[in-house]
């Protein structure tokens, strides 16, 4: 999946409106200590190695709050930025720079953390055909932003939400009366949408194949079971591995020949990158 441009732009707008409202509210009291007409320049650096992500959010934030502030990017999204290197510079109203500092850094530190983590995981798959996918286990309100960051880090996006693909799990199967019935109904409801089904047994895998699922998720299959499943399916559908996968066993799982590995840890368990904004003397 890829994020439609219109959805990306809409999400950025919503994100920055919420960020400004929650931080500024009725006004930045501390910024009032600075003379209204004072101008300043500032430098934003990282204190640790990172893959940069978040440029569109910072640009939109500045445009929304004070379009007279000038921003100069020294790095681009997807670039490896080393510790103590400058990411971007700002010039404009000192009050504005002080006010937008935290919301801007919040976006960059969070999205760069996702991109950096994703890149580290993707590195484990070098030389293999398996693709790394994200999940819907994202921070509330930052679904599209985090999936954007996963793509920047070299991963791929699973479905963006409940609207763009079917993912039939145990409860769906029970409610629909079985795997075959669930897949058949999905093809009927939205013929153009991908249909994925989660299976836990060999019998369920065969049912999914019979019903012509596009993707089958092998939930907590053992290493040998995944190897056998890849041989058995023989390209009749795509196979995705999920469950109990870590960076330590990621390459081992990929070596089974599965097409995809999905990991919620890319977005739900991230540590923000350490950034700093310094006013220039």
Binning pLDDT at 50, 70 and 90, where does residue 152 land?
very high
pLDDT of residue 177 exceeding 80:
yes
Token pair 């994020």: residue: 3
What percentage of the chain reaches a pLDDT higher than 90?
97
pLDDT digits (tens, 9 = 90+) for 95-127: 999 999 999 999 999 999 999 999 999 999 999
Just list the catalytic residues. Answer: 102, 137, 169, 198, 219
Length of the chain: 281
- In this prediction, residues 124-144 reach a mean pLDDT of 97
Q: What is the DSSP string of the chain?
A: ----HHHHHHHHHHHHHHHHHHHHTT--TGGGGS-TT-EEEEEEEESS-EE---HHHHHHHHHHH-TT-EEEESS-TT-EE-TT-EEEEEEEEHHHHHHHHHHHHHHHHHHHHHHHHHHHHHHTTTTS--EEE--S---TT-HHHHHHHHHHTT-B---SSSSS-EEE-HHHHHHHTSHHHHHHHHHHH-TTS-EEEEESSHHHHHHHHHTT-SEEEEET--HHHHHHHHHHHTTSSEEEEESS--TTTHHHHHTTT-SEEE-THHHHS-----EEEEE--
Give the mean model confidence (pLDDT) for residues 26-32: 93
Give the per-residue pLDDT at 2: 85
Condensed to tens digits (0 to 9), the pLDDT of residues 216-261 reads 999 989 999 999 999 999 999 999 999 889 999 999 999 999 999 9
Mean per-residue pLDDT for 115-142?
A: 97
Confidence category of residue 281, pLDDT binned at 50, 70, 90: low
Average pLDDT of the chain? 96
Q: What is the mean pLDDT of residues 71-76?
A: 98
Q: What is the largest CA-CA distance in the chain?
A: 72
Q: How confident is the model at residue 90 (pLDDT cuts 50, 70, 90)?
A: very high
78, 51 in Cβ contact below 8 A?
Answer: yes
Sequential DSSP letters for 69-114? -EEEESS-TT-EE-TT-EEEEEEEEHHHHHHHHHHHHHHHHHHHHH
Q: How confident is the model at residue 166, as a pLDDT?
A: 95
Task: List domains and CATH numbers for the chain.
Answer: 5-115+271-280 (3.90.1170.20), 123-268 (3.20.20.70)
**What local confidence, expressed as pLDDT, does residue 220 receive?**
86
SS (H, E, C) 231-253: HHHCCCCEEEEECCCCCCCHHHH
Query: Residues of the chain with pLDDT > 70: what percent?
Result: 99
């Amino acid at each position: 999946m890829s994020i439609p441009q219109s959805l990306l732009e809409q999400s950025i707008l919503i994100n920055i409106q919420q960020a400004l409202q929650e931080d500024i509210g009725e006004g930045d009291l501390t910024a009032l200590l600075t003379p209204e007409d004072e101008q300043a320049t500032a430098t934003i650096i990282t204190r640790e190695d990172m893959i940069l992500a978040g440029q569109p959010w910072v640009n939109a934030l500045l445009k929304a709050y004070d379009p007279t502030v000038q921003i100069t990017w020294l790095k681009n999204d997807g670039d490896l930025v080393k510790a103590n290197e400058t990411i971007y510079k700002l010039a404009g109203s000192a009050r504005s720079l002080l006010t937008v500092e935290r919301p801007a850094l919040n976006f960059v530190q969070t999205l760069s953390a996702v991109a950096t983590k994703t890149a580290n995981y993707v590195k484990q798959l070098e030389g293999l055909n398996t693709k790394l996918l994200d999940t819907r286990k994202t921070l509330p309100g930052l679904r599209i932003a985090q999936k954007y960051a996963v793509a920047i880090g070299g991963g791929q996006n699973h479905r963006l939400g409940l609207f763009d693909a079917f993912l039939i799990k145990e409860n769906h199967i029970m409610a629909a009366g079985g795997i075959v019935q669930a897949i058949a109904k999905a093809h009927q409801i939205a013929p153009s949408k991908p249909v994925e089904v989660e299976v836990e047994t060999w019998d369920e895998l065969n049912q999914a194949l019979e019903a012509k699922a596009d993707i089958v998720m092998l939930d907590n299959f053992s290493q040998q079971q995944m190897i056998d499943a890849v041989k058995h399916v023989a390209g009749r559908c795509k196979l995705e591995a999920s469950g109990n996968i870590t960076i330590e066993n990621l390459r081992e799982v990929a070596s089974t020949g599965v097409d995809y590995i999905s990991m919620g840890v890319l977005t739900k368990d991230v540590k923000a990158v350490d950034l700093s904004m310094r006013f220039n003397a």
